[in-house]
């Protein structure tokens, strides 16, 4: 159909309801949150209207600094692990038959949609002393006694990689499906092995995609709030956990809001960077 510019006010009719919904229930709550981040805490209720910068000043403490540092470090580590596992995997997946691809995609979507609660519970069971993976090692004689592998940093990292891996694969999938097959054919004709062709031709061709994926997985991992609580100790808590904790248990909504605004700024800056990287790739 030929697309037409809207002529009369009535032509805008269909846009009214979605626009109202998105503005009232996304733009307004978001702005409310920004406003609340400048308010004062009220122990009796939610907050008192005010304009103070105290909530932001609290960022300068060493405690907050260490939580922020840990969150960023953890998210970077998760992003690197996920892309390192997912990139060769997704590449091989796109070379499979349609049927194999479909089965894998259905499984990955199912795991991706799983609640963080369920992922946390599953891994806490797998790492537990009574039902865990160490029982298997005892059974084949590699260990003398079953052990609990949690709480600990390794458990948090494993759980978060598990949560982010399907996401990583599904983000990489479209770029790898569209990869020009003649690139690879040329490399093969010139005599390079498939493994060499993958590292010397496919990887450089998708360098920007890889950077964009790393950033997206990083933002995704920043949002993890339950796994550090279920699988880690308090020193493994991330900024997201701290925000929930302040908002719900310490009933300090203004401070929670200030931290959330800060997290938005970090995420937005990174998403912006992704878009920039993506644009360069399209231009090239």
Residue selected from 120, 151, 228, 232 as contacting other proteins according to rule CB under 8 A = 120
| Cβ 30 to other proteins shortest distance, Å | 5
Which residue has tokens 């795991």?
111
Part in contact with other proteins (CB under 8 A); list of ranges 11-19, 61-69, 148-156, 183-191: 11-19
| Nearer to other proteins among residue 189 and residue 282 (C-beta) | 282
Query: Tokens 């990489």 appear where?
Result: 172
CB of 5 to other proteins, least distance (A): 5
Near other proteins by CB under 8 A, which window of 57-65, 76-84, 160-168, 179-187? 160-168
Site for other proteins in 28-47 (CB under 8 A): 28-30, 32-33, 36, 46
Q: Does 256 bind other proteins (CB under 8 A)?
A: yes
Report the distance separating Cα 160 and Cα 149, nearest Å.
Answer: 15
215 vs 121, 172, 211, 226, CA distance in Å? 27, 12, 6, 21
Of positions 8, 17, 141, 284, contacts other proteins by CB under 8 A: 17
DSSP secondary structure code for residue 250 in this structure: S
Q: Name residue 41's beta-bridge partners.
A: 47
Binding mask 225-244 for other proteins (x = CB under 8 A): xx---x---------x--xx
Stretch that binds other proteins, among 51-59, 61-69, 149-157, 211-219 (CB under 8 A): 211-219
Contact criterion met (CB below 8 Å) for 124 and 151: no
- Is 179 one of the binding residues for other proteins (CB under 8 A)? no
* Helical spans, DSSP H, in 151-224: 153-177, 181-189, 194-197, 203-205, 207-222
Q: What sign for the dihedral angle of Cα 168, 173, 174, 178? A: positive
Site stretch for other proteins (CB under 8 A), options 24-32, 51-59, 76-84, 179-187? 24-32
Question: Could you say which residues in the range 57-116 bind other proteins, by CB under 8 A?
Answer: 85, 88-89, 92, 98, 101-102, 105-111, 113-116
Cβ 217 vs Cβ 170: under 8 Å: no
Region 264-283 residues binding other proteins, contact defined as CB under 8 A = 264, 267-268, 271, 274-275, 278
Q: Compare residues 95 and 183 and give the one whose CB is closer to other proteins.
A: 95
How does DSSP classify residue 238? -
How would you write 22-68 as a 3-class SS string? HHHHHHHHHHHHHHHCCCEECCCCCEECCCCCHHHHHHHCHHHHHHH
Determine the interface stretch with other proteins among 76-84, 147-155, 184-192, 223-231 (rule: CB under 8 A): 223-231
> How many residues form the binding site for other proteins (CB under 8 A)?
96
């Amino acid at each position: 159909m030929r697309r037409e510019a809207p002529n009369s006010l009535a032509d805008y009719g269909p846009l009214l309801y979605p626009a109202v919904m998105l503005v009232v229930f996304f733009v307004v709550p978001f702005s409310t949150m920004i406003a609340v981040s400048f308010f004062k805490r009220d122990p009796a209720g939610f907050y008192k209207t005010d304009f103070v910068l105290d909530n932001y000043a609290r960022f300068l403490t060493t405690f907050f600094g260490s939580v922020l540092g840990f969150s960023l470090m953890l998210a970077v580590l998760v992003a690197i692990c996920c892309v390192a596992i997912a990139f060769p995997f997704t590449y091989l997946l796109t070379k499979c038959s349609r049927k194999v691809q479909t089965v894998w995609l259905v499984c990955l979507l199912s795991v991706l949609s799983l609640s963080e609660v369920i992922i946390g519970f599953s891994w806490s069971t797998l790492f537990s002393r009574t039902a865990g993976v160490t029982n298997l090692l005892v059974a084949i004689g590699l260990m003398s006694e079953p052990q609990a592998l949690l709480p600990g940093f390794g458990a948090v990292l494993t759980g978060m990689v598990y949560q982010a891996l399907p996401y990583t694969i599904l983000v990489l999938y479209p770029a790898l499906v569209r990869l020009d097959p003649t690139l690879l054919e040329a490399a093969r004709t010139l005599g390079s092995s498939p493994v060499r062709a993958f590292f010397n031709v496919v990887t450089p061709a998708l360098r920007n995609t890889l950077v964009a994926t790393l950033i997206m997985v990083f933002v995704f991992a920043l949002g993890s709030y339950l796994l550090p609580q279920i699988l880690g100790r308090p020193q493994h808590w991330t900024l997201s956990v701290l925000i929930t904790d302040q908002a719900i248990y310490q009933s300090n909504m203004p401070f929670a809001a200030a931290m959330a605004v800060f997290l938005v700024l970090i995420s937005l800056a990174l998403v912006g960077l992704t878009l920039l990287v993506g644009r360069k790739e399209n231009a090239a």
